[in-house]
C-alpha cells in the first residue's frame, strides 16, 4: 500500500495539471489575501476574509480540481493493463487505499502551502479551518475514487467529472439552504456539516469511509 501511495503522490507531483492546480491555489489565495489585507487591515474580519479565497476554491470548485487530476486513478490502471502486475504484489484493498492515501497527501501539500501562505499574511493559524478544508477534500477524493471504480472508461470519468464538478456544489448548496422537501438530501453533501461546524466537520470523513468501503467491495468483484 505504501508503494502505491508513494507512486501516486510522485505521479501527481510530476503532472502538469497538478502543478497548475498548486499554482492556482497558492497564487489565487495569496493575491486575494494581499488585496483584502491592503483594504481592510489586519482585524478579525479581515483575517476571516483572508481565507475566503481558499474556502471558495475548496468548497465550490474542490471536486472539479480533484477530478481533473484523479478521475482516472483506478480505471486507467485497468485500461493500460498495469493493474495485473500491481495486483501480483498487493491485494485489491491495499491498492485502493494506497491510491486514496497518495491523492490525499497531494492535496494536503497543495492546501497546506496555500494555508501557510494565508496564515503568514493573517498572522494567525486557524487549525480548525484547515481540518474543515481537508475533511471536504477527502470527501471529494473518495467520491472520485468510487466513480473511477464504477466506470471503467477513463474518457467517460473525465466527462462525468466535469459534470459532477459543476453540479455538486449547485445541488448541494441548494439543498442545504432550501426549506423545501428535497432539503433532506442536504445530509448527503458536506456543506450542511460545514455550516453546522464544530464536531460535525468529521461527518464528511465518515461519508468518505462509506465511499471507500463500497469502492473496495466493488473493485474486488470487478474483472481486471
Per-residue model confidence (pLDDT) at position 46: 47
Per-residue model confidence (pLDDT) at position 32: 66
Per-residue model confidence (pLDDT) at position 119: 78
Q: Are 145 and 74 spatial neighbours (Cβ–Cβ below 8 Å)?
A: yes
Per-residue model confidence (pLDDT) at position 115: 85
The Cα–Cα gap between 200 and 198 comes to: 5
* Residue range 97-138, pLDDT digits in tens: 999 999 999 999 989 888 887 777 767 777 888 899 999 999
Per-residue model confidence (pLDDT) at position 106: 94
Structural domain harbouring 134:
2-221
The Cα–Cα gap between 24 and 58 comes to: 12
Per-residue model confidence (pLDDT) at position 56: 84
The Cα–Cα gap between 193 and 191 comes to: 5
SS3 state of residue 182: helix
Tally of residues, the chain: 224
Domain count, the chain: 1
Per-residue model confidence (pLDDT) at position 40: 47
> Which stretches in the chain have pLDDT values below 70?
32-50, 122, 224
Amino acid at each position: 500500500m505504501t508503494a502505491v501511495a508513494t507512486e501516486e503522490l510522485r505521479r501527481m507531483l510530476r503532472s502538469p495539471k497538478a502543478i497548475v492546480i498548486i499554482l492556482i491555489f497558492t497564487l489565487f489565495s495569496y493575491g486575494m489575501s494581499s488585496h483584502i489585507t491592503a483594504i481592510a487591515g489586519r482585524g478579525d474580519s479581515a483575517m476571516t476574509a483572508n481565507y475566503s479565497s481558499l474556502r471558495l476554491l475548496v468548497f465550490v470548485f474542490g471536486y472539479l480540481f480533484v477530478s481533473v487530476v484523479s478521475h482516472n486513478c483506478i480505471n486507467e490502471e485497468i485500461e493500460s493493463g498495469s493493474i495485473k502486475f500491481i495486483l501480483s504484489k498487493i491485494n485489491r484493498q491495499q491498492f485502493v487505499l494506497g491510491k486514496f492515501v497518495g491523492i490525499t497527501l497531494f492535496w494536503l501539500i497543495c492546501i497546506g502551502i496555500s494555508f501557510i501562505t494565508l496564515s503568514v499574511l493573517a498572522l494567525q493559524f486557524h487549525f480548525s479551518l484547515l481540518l474543515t478544508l481537508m475533511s471536504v477534500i477527502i470527501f471529494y477524493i473518495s467520491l472520485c475514487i468510487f466513480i473511477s471504480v464504477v466506470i471503467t472508461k477513463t474518457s467517460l470519468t473525465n466527462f462525468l467529472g466535469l459534470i459532477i464538478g459543476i453540479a455538486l456544489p449547485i445541488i448541494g448548496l441548494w439543498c442545504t439552504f432550501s426549506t423545501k422537501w428535497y432539503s433532506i438530501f442536504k445530509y448527503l453533501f458536506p456543506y450542511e456539516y460545514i455550516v453546522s461546524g464544530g464536531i460535525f466537520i468529521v461527518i464528511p470523513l465518515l461519508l468518505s469511509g462509506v465511499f471507500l468501503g463500497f469502492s473496495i467491495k466493488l473493485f474486488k468483484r470487478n474483472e481486471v
